């Protein structure tokens, strides 16, 4: 159902974007460009094959914003909300679908959770839109209508971790503007934490000792990755005239922090990605692949998966049979699920990189960056997206679609497929390493 829902959203979005009214020129964008853009919007990625502000009309941009909203909240969440509004109650089947999409830990309060998800999302987008609108209006002299339009569009794009921007250079013109950059970064972080974590933080942010394992891992790993990413970008790009070299010290810190946040599946860029040092590309690859929190608008394998595997490695290095986080023990099925999702994702990225290398003449570092960005639904690019052949665009479409629904459906399937054997086979040790 989740796959079908997202697929239908992509098809409908592509059909509308293929209409002449969706482009500035009044001519059809073509099926491939419409399909790529619709997939990128529904999967909240941000990769584009045509320039968003110059190619698409206001109708097309509005359709893109709507697709981002649908993809961010989740097809099943929206369907459940409509069911609640129309019927006033939920059946078991609808509750199960809503639970799969929102990662609710209990089915008893799914209806309440879905309502809170939608209300919280719209509230965050509204606050972000108000701040951005005020800045565009007062700081840059944009007309009232244009300022509101820019504020609302980028609020939706930021909170849903989409990365679509209405300027050809993304947000590079605002690289030293903390009002724009920090507002967008805050929306990205909140949207990428995941709804269960956000709700728990709202209830008990003053009592971290009572946080669940999910919240502890998500918040802890997110903080570490943001700090590490900022330091890496500062070290690698400090003297680079194409990125941070021309900024003052505060501007460099702001730009590096913004780059670290956006690499976690948002897709906005305030500096030229193509001008970055290859070491920064590699660091961005790692941040993109890990992604954000579970049940949020971010992509990647998720910080919970990464953090869980880190605890597994730590326990193994200490010779402990059980994996503990704080005062809780992690169940073995969760450890196996994290390992399965990670290895399958690595295999998919490796295979896609090989295929894209065979289809193009671009270097490995640029192709790997593009593949990871598509799979992790980030949207950052070194500038080769539009130059890829049609087969390469279709490969990225597949990666964006799998990257959006793959970890969700795979994780759910693995969790539901857990079954116990009534017998055990004889044990035999093997050499590892």
Q: What does the alpha-carbon distance between residue 400 and residue 398 come to, in Å, rounded to a whole number?
A: 6
pLDDT at 322: 87
C-beta of residue 264 within 8 angstroms of C-beta of residue 188 = yes
Q: Has residue 107 got a pLDDT over 70?
A: no
| Structure confidence by residue, pLDDT tens digits, 138-179 | 999 999 999 999 999 999 999 999 989 999 999 999 999 999
Measured over all CA atoms, what is the biggest interatomic distance in the chain, rounded to whole angstroms?
Answer: 75
Confidence (pLDDT) at 99: 57
Beta bridge partners of 324: 329
DSSP output for 281-311: HHHHHHHHHH-S-TTSS--SS-HHHHHHHHH
The lowest-confidence range among 32-36, 259-263, 331-335 is 331-335
Q: Distance between CA 220 and CA 213 in Å, rounded? A: 10
Measured over the CA atoms of residue 185, residue 123, residue 305 and residue 209, the dihedral's sign is positive
- The answer to whether 49 and 393 have CB atoms below 8 angstroms apart is yes
Which residue is associated with the tokens 């930021």?
158
Question: Is 207 in contact with 167 (CB distance < 8 Å)?
Answer: no
Phi, psi of 23 (to 5 degrees): -115, 155
Q: Let me know: does 270 contact 171? Beta carbons within 8 Å.
A: yes
Return the HEC string of 207-272.
CHHHCCHHHHHHHHHHHHHHHHHHHHHHHHHCCCCCCCCCCCHHHHHHHHHHHHHHCCCCCCCCCC
Check pLDDT > 60 for residue 82.
Answer: no
pLDDT at 289: 95
Q: What burial letters (b/e) apply to 235-271, b meaning 16+ CB within 10 Å?
A: ebbeebeebbeebeeebbebbbbbbbbbbbbbbbbbb
Which is higher by pLDDT, 245 or 327?
A: 245
Query: Tell me: the pLDDT tens digits for 14-42?
Result: 999 999 999 999 999 999 999 999 999 99
Closest CA to 264 of 164, 193, 365, 169: 193
Q: What is the pLDDT of residue 319?
A: 86
Q: What is the Cα–Cα distance from 241 to 329, expressed in whole angstroms?
A: 49
Residue 360 near residue 384, CB atoms below 8 Å? yes
Q: Is the pTM of this model over 0.85?
A: yes
d(CA 118, CA 123): 8
pLDDT, mean of residues 350-363? 95
Q: What is the pLDDT of residues 136-148, one digit of tens each?
A: 999 999 999 999 9
pLDDT greater than 90 at residue 129: yes
Q: Coil, strand or helix: which one is 65?
A: helix
- φ/ψ (deg, to 5) at 329: -105, 135
């Amino acid at each position: 159902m989740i796959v079908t829902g997202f697929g239908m959203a992509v098809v409908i979005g592509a059909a509308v974007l293929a209409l002449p009214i969706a482009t500035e020129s009044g001519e059809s964008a073509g099926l491939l460009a419409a399909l790529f853009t619709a997939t990128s919007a529904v999967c909240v990625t941000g990769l584009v094959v045509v320039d968003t502000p110059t190619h698409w009309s206001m109708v097309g941009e509005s359709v893109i914003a709507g697709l981002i909203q649908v993809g961010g909240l989740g097809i099943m969440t929206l369907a459940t909300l409509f069911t609640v509004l129309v019927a006033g109650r939920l059946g078991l089947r609808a509750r199960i679908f809503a639970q799969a999409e929102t990662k609710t830990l209990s089915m008893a309060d799914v209806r309440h959770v879905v309502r809170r998800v939608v209300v919280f999302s719209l509230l965050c987008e509204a606050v972000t839109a108000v701040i951005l609108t005020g800045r565009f209006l007062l700081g840059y002299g944009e007309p009232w209508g244009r300022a509101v339009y820019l504020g609302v569009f980028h609020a939706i794009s930021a909170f849903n971790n989409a990365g679509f921007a209405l300027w050809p250079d993304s947000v590079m013109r605002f690289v030293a503007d903390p009002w724009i950059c920090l507002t967008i970064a805050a929306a990205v972080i909140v949207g990428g934490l995941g709804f269960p974590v956000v709700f728990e933080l709202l209830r008990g942010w003053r009592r971290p000792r009572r946080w669940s394992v999910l919240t502890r891992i998500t918040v802890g790993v997110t903080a570490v990755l943001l700090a590490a990413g900022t330091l890496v970008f500062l070290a690698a790009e400090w003297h680079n005239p194409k990125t941070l070299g021309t900024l003052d010290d505060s501007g460099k810190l702001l730009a590096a922090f913004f780059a670290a946040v956006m690499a976690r599946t948002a897709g906005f860029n305030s500096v030229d990605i193509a001008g970055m040092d290859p070491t920064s590309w590699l660091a961005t690859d790692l941040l993109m692949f890990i992604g954000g929190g579970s049940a949020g608008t971010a992509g990647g394998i998720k910080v919970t998966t990464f953090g869980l595997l880190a605890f597994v490695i730590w326990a193994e290095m200490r010779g402990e049979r059980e994996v503990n986080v704080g005062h809780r023990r992690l169940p073995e099925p969760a450890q196996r699920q994290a390992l399965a999702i990670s290895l399958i994702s690595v295999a998919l990225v490796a295979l896609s990189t090989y295929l894209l290398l065979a289809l193009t003449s671009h270097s490995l570092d640029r192709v790997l960056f593009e593949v990871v960005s598509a799979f992790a639904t980030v949207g950052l690019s070194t500038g080769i997206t539009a130059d890829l052949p049609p087969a390469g665009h279709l490969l990225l479409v597949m990666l964006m679609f799998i990257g959006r629904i793959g970890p969700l459906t795979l994780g759910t399937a693995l969790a539901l497929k857990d079954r116990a054997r009534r017998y055990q086979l004889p044990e035999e040790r093997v050499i590892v390493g």
